[in-house]
Amino acid sequence: MAIFGLWVINKAGGLVYERNFGDGLPRLTSNEYLVLAGTLHGIHAITSRLSPIGPSSGTKFVLLTSLAESTADVVLQKVYEVYADAVMKNPFHTPEMPIRSEGFDRRITALLG
């Protein structure tokens, strides 16, 4: 299962969490990550008007994987659950702010390696 990276993007399009696994991806500067995340957010906002899926709270999870990866949505589902637990349930975490949670980091490592 080749997962290279995980991004979490808040409602406003800001990147609140990014993590690389292994060295499948070349390193980008943090600025480049922010720009990419913002672009994705814009595209998402437009496409969601064309084909609405389920209800969403506006938070987006982006998983960067190898082409062979077929279980991406299962993994994303689990990431969402970890997010709901470690991030949202921490009363000291301000929603929409960058995620700085050891609990979240730990569980993501356990999940995505």
Partner 1 sequence: MATTSKQYKVIGEELWKGRAEKTNAELFALTYGALVVQLIQDYEDYEEVNKQLEKMGYNIGTRLIEDFLARSNIGRCVDFRETGEVVAKVGFKSFLNITPSVTHGGLPIAASPTRSSTASPAPTIPGATFTLTLDENPLAEFVELPEEALEGGLWFSNILCGVLRGALEMIQMQVTATFISDVLRGDETTEIKVTLVKYLEEEVPVGDD
Binding residues (CB under 8 A) for partner 1: these are 11-13, 41-42, 45-46, 48-59, 77, 80-81, 83-85, 88-89, 91, 95
CB nearer partner 1, residue 57 or residue 66:
57
Residue 63: both structure tokens together: 């998983």
CB nearer partner 1, residue 70 or residue 94:
94
The strand pairing partners of 7, in sequence order, are 18, 62
Phi and psi (nearest 5°) for 83?
-60, -45
CB nearer partner 1, residue 51 or residue 68:
51
In the bound complex, what is the minimum distance in angstroms from residue 43's beta carbon to partner 1? 10
Q: Please, how many CA atoms are within 13 Å of residue 86, restricted to the half-sphere of its CB?
A: 17
For residue 25, the Cα-to-chain-centroid distance in whole angstroms is 16
Please state, in angstroms and rounded to a whole number, the distance separating the CA atoms of residues 13 and 52. Answer: 18
In the bound complex, what is the minimum distance in angstroms from residue 98's beta carbon to partner 1? 17
In the bound complex, what is the minimum distance in angstroms from residue 3's beta carbon to partner 1? 19
